[in-house]
């Protein structure tokens, strides 16, 4: 449960203290800027070239899940399929910045072992 909380807060997957994204990354409707290394433990986030290529698949999965959720929820209120489609397209564009951030965080948490702190 603490890991999920740290993913949501954007903490480093290794030490779970340093921030992965710098402050500009928290702006609404802006591509989040990633720190190259953890400010706390100096862990390099992009462990190898192209490491975040796989995060695209995570982002794709998140987008599909969001589309299905938006479709199901909006179909209760909107009867026109065209209006639902437009709503989904707008939502995808707005959520793409959030997906970018959390797909990278999820990808890093999948492949980075946490350092035991005692």
> Can you give the binding site for Zn ion, defined by CB under 5 A?
12, 14-15, 18, 38, 40-41, 43
Give the shortest CB-105-to-Zn ion separation in angstroms.
13
User: Is 19 or 84 the residue whose CB approaches Zn ion more closely?
Assistant: 19
Rg of the chain on CA atoms, in Å: 17
Q: Which is nearer to Zn ion, 12 or 62 (CB)?
A: 12
User: CA-to-CA distance for 82 and 2, rounded, in angstroms?
Assistant: 41
In whole angstroms, give the CA distance from residue 118 to residue 106: 24
Q: Nearest to residue 105, comparing CAs of 29, 27, 39, 16?
A: 16
Alpha helices in the chain (DSSP H): 2-9, 55-74, 81-111
CB of 92 to Zn ion, least distance (A): 32
The answer to whether residues 103 and 21 touch, using CB atoms and an 8 Å cutoff, is no
Give me the least distance between CB of 58 and Zn ion, in Å please.
20
Measured from the CB atom, the residue of 41 and 56 that comes closer to Zn ion is: 41
Least Å from the CB of residue 21 to Zn ion: 13
Q: Of the two residues 41 and 78, which places its CB atom closer to Zn ion in the complex?
A: 41
């Amino acid at each position: 449960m603490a890991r999920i909380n740290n993913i949501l807060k954007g903490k480093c997957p290794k030490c779970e203290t340093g921030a992965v994204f710098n402050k500009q990354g928290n702006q609404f409707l802006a591509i989040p800027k990633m720190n190259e290394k953890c400010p706390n433990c100096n862990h390099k986030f992009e462990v190898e070239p192209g490491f975040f290529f796989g995060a695209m698949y995570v982002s794709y999965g998140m987008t599909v899940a969001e589309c299905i959720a938006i479709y199901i929820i909006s179909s209760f209120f909107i009867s026109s399929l065209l209006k639902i489609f437009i709503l989904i397209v707008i939502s995808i564009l707005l959520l793409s910045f959030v997906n970018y951030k959390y797909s990278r965080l999820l990808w890093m948490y999948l492949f980075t072992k946490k350092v035991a702190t005692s």
